């Protein structure tokens, strides 16, 4: 049993010495202030462990024993105090707390010195009290940070979270062993007790180790938890970020999470920092300056006082930008897997940025179109009013008598002026709609009246060969709508039906009221629309180009406006078409008072109006 005990103790001591050496090496490589403090803590712990074992190998006595005792106590307290300083490096303590910690440390060192030099002669009670104070101070130095680390880890990316928790857990294990040693009574002294505590302490070595130097495979496992979320985020990034800024901000946020980094940044091809999080802009500028000449990116050597960084190139149309992440106290390690991961991510981000660039340009073009619509329609309106005035004077004979050819020309000019006026009104309405300046004036109306008025207004463009049949129910259809706007929608549907029926009518207009929805369908027997062309009908300026219809005048605004106006009324326009045989466009509108069940059952008799 003795052998097993000694073996366990030796192994544990060795473990802590190795842990101290590893942190020291880590600090030598990365030189951060926080790493330095953690290194001092763990090297001190290694010294305590090593000295504890040394006494079993060589017999020491007298002054040497006292010296070893003093060094052990000082190293032990330093190991705790520097955990607190490590916490202070990135979760800063208040100045009062710092002051208090220094006082506790000073008192504890004095007690430790007294314990070794004087109290051993003062009796058991004094030594026990001193030992208790030494341990209590250590538990406070270490206990406070581990609780803080645990709490702070809650909102961190999975890699940082796991590392912080490993550190908390490792030190919590050591505290548990100390408390068990103090209060465990005889159980601690038993060989089984000794072996158990040594093995628990030994188990804490790898736990603490992974908190500051986790192997790549472990980092991969920790990150896996975020993989699904990351995939969704990348999709979101590529598809939905509305602006470059928004995309860059999200890209930086996710790069940070993805690699468990402290900070992240996006720099455009001109070297401007577009997004930055968790690292200051000056540091980003330094990192980018150091990158000159190595545009592909890679691991940046850590600079004194600062952690490592990885930078990856963003291949953009304007040139090469950069996506980078920086290390912090819990991210001191970047390896080739992080570089690969960042590079893969950077190509998605570059694709996303390109998409946003194109969308933003399209938005500018759209804005220009709206501005053009607005300007052109306003500018055309004035001169056209003058022309209309003269045409009506010509028609009324106020400008004198016309000869035969003149008299024939005037109605044609008048009809064309009306057509132009209608086009300008459409352009103005579209511009208003896009500027958000279109105001509806909804009032209680009978839909039948609106439809009849719309058909009448479309009539001037008929040249006698078209038949329009309008079928309405006998009962009124109450709708709360802007009558002028609904009239515009219907008359546009009717004039389209006429315009796109080169062989002649008839055009059938049916008004029905069913299930709280009023429907106005306009059916023609004209050219029809191919299925693949349907999606463009309702777009702004959307016109279908076919040999039969290319010569017909039009703006491609009528159906676009119609659908938008219908939607503003809580309605819709739908289309059903058979190429070569004709189309039916239907306007759906909510009725304002839902008819009672009895009146719905009542079969509506219909009136038929005909027009030649
Ligand atoms: P416009 O008639 O001024 O071109 P619209 O927005 O009213 O603009 O119509 C858009 C396009 O839809 C038309 O150019 C035409 O190609 C098609 N279209 C509209 N109504 C019909 C119809 N009744 N029959 C066939 N095609 C139609």
Does the pLDDT value for residue 364 go beyond 50? yes
Lowest-confidence region among 179-183, 210-214, 498-502, 586-590: 179-183
> Which atom of ligand 1 has the smallest separation from the CA of 492?
7
431-435, 459-463, 508-512: range with lowest mean pLDDT: 459-463
For residues 387 and 417, is the Cβ–Cβ distance under 8 A?
yes
Distance 540 CA to ligand 1 centre (A): 12
Ligand 1 centroid, distance to 230 Cα (angstroms): 45
Give the residue whose CA is nearest to atom 21 of ligand 1: 496
The phi-psi region of residue 506 (left if phi > 0; otherwise alpha if psi is between -120 and 50; otherwise beta) is beta
Kindly give the distance from the C-alpha atom of residue 159 to the centroid of ligand 1, in angstroms, as a whole number. Answer: 59
489 CB within 6 A, ligand 1: no
For ligand 1, atom 13: residue with the closest CA = 543
Least confident of 53-57, 267-271, 328-332: 328-332
- Range 377-398 average pLDDT: 89
Cα 386 to ligand 1 centroid, rounded to whole Å:
30
Nearest atom in ligand 1 to the alpha carbon of residue 560 is 6
Q: How far apart are the C-alpha atoms of 585 and 506, rounded to whole Å?
A: 14
473: left (phi over 0), alpha (psi -120 to 50) or beta: beta
Q: Is 562 in the pocket of ligand 1 (CB under 6 A)?
A: no
Is the beta carbon of 546 within 6 A of some atom in ligand 1? no
How many beta carbons lie within 10 A of that of residue 118, not counting itself? 11
Least confident span in 108-122, 129-143, 245-259: 108-122
Band (453; pLDDT cuts 50, 70, 90): very high
| In the chain, % of residues over pLDDT 90 | 34
Q: In the chain, helix, strand, coil percent, each to 5? A: 65, 15, 25
pLDDT tens-digit series, residues 555-605: 888 999 999 999 999 999 999 999 988 999 999 999 986 443 434 444 443
pLDDT tens profile 298-341: 666 555 556 678 888 898 988 889 999 987 766 545 666 677 77
Enter the tokens of residue 581: 């045989």
Q: Over pLDDT 70: what percentage of the chain?
A: 89
Widest Cα–Cα separation across the chain? 139
Question: What does the alpha-carbon distance between residue 520 and residue 522 come to, in Å, rounded to a whole number?
Answer: 7
**Tens of pLDDT, residues 515-526:** 889 999 999 998
- The reported pLDDT for the residue numbered 609 is 41
Probe residue for ligand 1, chosen from 525, 556, 574, 585 as the CB with the greatest number of ligand atoms within 8 Å: 556
**Which of 533, 545, 554, 577 has most ligand 1 atoms within 8 Å of CB, for mutation?**
554
524 lines ligand 1 (CB under 6 A): yes
Annotate 457-523 with DSSP letters as a single string.
Answer: HHGGG--SS--EEEEEESS--EEEE-HHHHHHHHHHHHHHHHHT-TT---EEEEEEEETTEEEEEEE
**496 CA from centroid of ligand 1 (Å):** 6
Side-chain-facing half-sphere of 526: CA atoms under 13 Å: 28
d(CA 527, CA 578): 8
The conformation of residue 594, written as its DSSP 8-state character, comes to: P
* 559 CA: nearest ligand 1 atom: 6
Burial of residue 573 (CB within 10 Å: 0-12, 13-18, 19+) is buried
Highest mean predicted confidence (pLDDT) among 276-285, 349-358, 566-575: 566-575
Amino acid 457: pLDDT:
80
**pLDDT score, position 481:** 93
- Quick one: pLDDT at residue 299? 62
Whose alpha carbon is nearest atom 12 of ligand 1?
537
pLDDT of 233 reads: 76
Looking at residue 153, its pLDDT comes to 80
**Does the CB atom of residue 559 touch ligand 1 within 6 A?**
yes
User: pLDDT tens for residues 394-403?
Assistant: 988 888 888 8
Residue closest by Cα to atom 11 of ligand 1:
543
The chain-wide mean pLDDT, for the chain, equals 84
Name, in order, each residue with C-beta under 8 angstroms of 105's C-beta and a sequence gap of 6 or more.
77, 81, 137, 141
Has residue 254 got a pLDDT over 60? yes
Structure tokens at 336: 């080739």
Strand ranges (E), 65-115: none
Contact in structure between 314 and 294 (CB atoms under 8 Å): no
Over residues 50-54, the mean pLDDT reads 86
Whether 495 is in the pocket of ligand 1, judged by its Cβ within 6 Å, is no
What confidence score (pLDDT) does residue 255 get? 87
Report residue 257 as tokens: 């999470």
Q: Is 490 exposed, middle or buried (0-12, 13-18, 19+ CB in 10 A)?
A: buried
> Is 526 close to ligand 1, i.e. is its CB under 6 Å away?
yes
Residue 137 scores a pLDDT above 60:
yes
DSSP, collapsed to helix, strand or coil, labels residue 132 as helix
**Per-residue pLDDT band at 239 (split at 50, 70, 90):** confident
Q: How far is the CA of 377 from the centre of ligand 1 (A)?
A: 21
d(CA 302, CA 409): 86
**Scanning the structure block, which residue is given the tokens 């598809």?**
239
| Alpha-carbon span 33 to 176, nearest angstrom | 28
Half-sphere exposure of 127 (CA within 13 A, CB side): 9
Mean pLDDT of 255-262: 80
Of the candidates 26, 138, 160, 9, the residue with the CA atom closest to the CA atom of residue 74 = 138
Mean pLDDT within 100-111 = 94
CB 445 within 8 A of CB 481: yes
Q: How far apart are the CA of 538 and the centre of ligand 1, in A?
A: 9
Q: How far is the CA of 606 from the centre of ligand 1 (A)?
A: 29
Kindly tell me if the per-residue pLDDT of 379 is higher than 70. yes
Report how far ligand 1's centroid is from the alpha carbon of 536 (Å).
10
CA distance 466 to 231: 59
Q: Is the pLDDT of residue 126 over 90?
A: no
Q: CA end-to-end span of the chain, whole Å?
A: 117
- Find the 272 Cα to ligand 1 centroid distance in Å: 48
Nearest atom within ligand 1 for CA of residue 526:
24
The confidence band for 119, taking pLDDT boundaries of 50, 70 and 90, is low
Q: Is the CB of 498 under 6 A from ligand 1?
A: no
* Reported confidence tier of residue 504, pLDDT bands at 50, 70, 90: confident
- Ligand 1 in contact with 285 (CB < 6 A)? no
Whether ligand 1 lies within 6 angstroms of the CB of 494 is answered as: no
The pLDDT value recorded for residue 296 is 63
Average pLDDT over residues 68-95: 89
**Structure confidence at residue 604 (pLDDT):** 43
Least Cα distance to 377 among 565, 555, 553 occurs for: 555
Name, in order, each residue with C-beta under 8 angstroms of 329's C-beta and a sequence gap of 6 or more: 32, 34, 35, 38, 86, 89, 90, 262, 307
Instruction: Indicate which atom in ligand 1 lies nearest the CA of residue 538.
Output: 6
Nearest-atom index, ligand 1, CA of 522: 23
Atom of ligand 1 nearest to the CA of 527: 25
Distance 466 CA to ligand 1 centre (A): 18
Instruction: Give the helix ranges, DSSP H, for 396-473.
Output: 404-435, 447-458
How many C-beta neighbours within 10 Å does residue 598 have?
Answer: 7
Selection from 24, 22, 19, 27 nearest residue 307 by Cα: 27
Whether ligand 1 lies within 6 angstroms of the CB of 549 is answered as: yes
- Which residue is closest in CA terms to ligand 1's atom 19? 496
């Amino acid at each position: 049993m003795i052998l097993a005990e000694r073996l366990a103790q030796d192994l544990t001591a060795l473990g802590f010495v190795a842990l101290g050496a590893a942190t020291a090496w880590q600090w030598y490589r990365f030189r951060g202030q926080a790493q330095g403090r953690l290194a001092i803590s763990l090297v001190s712990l290694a010294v305590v462990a090593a000295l504890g074992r040394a006494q079993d190998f060589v017999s020491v006595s007298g002054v040497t024993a006292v010296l070893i005792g003093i060094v052990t106590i000082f190293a032990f307290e330093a190991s705790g105090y520097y955990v607190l300083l490590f916490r202070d490096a990135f979760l800063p303590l208040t100045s009062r707390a710092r002051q208090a910690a220094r006082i506790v440390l000073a008192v504890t060192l004095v007690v430790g010195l007294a314990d070794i030099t004087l109290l051993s002669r003062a009796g058991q009670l004094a030594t026990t009290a001193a030992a208790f104070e030494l341990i209590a101070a250590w538990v406070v130095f270490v206990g406070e940070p581990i609780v803080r680390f645990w709490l702070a880890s809650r909102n961190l990316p999975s890699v940082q979270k796991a590392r912080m928790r490993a550190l908390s857990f490792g030190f919590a294990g050591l505290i548990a062993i100390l408390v068990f040693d103090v209060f465990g009574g005889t159980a601690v002294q038993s060989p089984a007790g000794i072996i158990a505590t040594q093995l628990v302490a030994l188990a804490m070595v790898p736990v603490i180790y992974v908190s500051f130097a986790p192997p790549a495979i472990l980092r991969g496992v920790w990150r896996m938890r975020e993989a699904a979320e990351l995939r969704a985020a990348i999709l979101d990034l590529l598809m939905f970020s509305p602006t470059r800024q928004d995309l860059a901000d999200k890209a930086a946020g996710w790069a940070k999470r993805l690699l468990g980094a402290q900070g992240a940044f996006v720099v455009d091809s001109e070297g401007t920092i577009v997004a930055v999080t968790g690292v200051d802009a000056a540091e980003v500028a330094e990192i980018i300056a150091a990158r000159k000449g190595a545009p592909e990116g890679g691991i940046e050597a850590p600079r004194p006082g600062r952690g490592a960084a990885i930078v990856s190139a963003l291949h953009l149309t304007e040139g090469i930008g950069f996506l980078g992440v920086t290390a912090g106290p819990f991210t001191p390690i970047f390896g080739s897997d992080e570089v690969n991961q960042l590079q893969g991510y950077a190509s998605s981000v570059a694709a996303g940025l390109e998409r946003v660039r194109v969308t933003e340009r399209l938005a500018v073009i759209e804005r220009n179109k709206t501005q053009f619509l607005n300007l052109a329609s306003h500018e055309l309106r004035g001169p056209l009013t003058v022309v209309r005035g003269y045409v009506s004077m010509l028609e009324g004979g106020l400008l004198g008598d016309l000869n035969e050819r003149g008299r024939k020309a005037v109605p044609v000019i008048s009809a064309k002026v009306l057509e132009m006026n209608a086009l300008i009104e459409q352009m103005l309405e579209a511009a208003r709609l896009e500027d958000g300046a279109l105001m509806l004036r909804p009032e209680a109306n009978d839909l039948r009246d609106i439809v009849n008025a719309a058909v009448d207004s479309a009539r001037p463009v008929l040249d006698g060969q078209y038949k329009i049949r309008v079928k309405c129910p006998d009962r009124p259809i109450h709708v709360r709508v802007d009558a002028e706007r609904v009239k515009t929608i219907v008359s546009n549907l009717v004039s389209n039906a006429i315009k796109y029926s080169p062989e002649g009518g008839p055009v059938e207009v049916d008004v029905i009221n069913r299930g709280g929805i009023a429907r106005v369908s306009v059916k023609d027997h004209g050219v029809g629309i191919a299925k693949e062309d349907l999606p463009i009908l309702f777009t702004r300026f959307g016109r279908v180009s076919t040999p039969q219809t290319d010569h017909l005048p039009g703006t491609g605004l009528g159906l676009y406006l119609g659908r938008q106006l219908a939607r503003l009324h809580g309605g819709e326009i739908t289309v059903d078409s058979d190429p070569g045989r004709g189309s039916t466009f239907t306007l759906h509108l909510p009725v304002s008072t839902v008819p009672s069940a009895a009146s719905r059952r009542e079969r509506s008799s219909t009136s038929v109006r005909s027009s030649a």
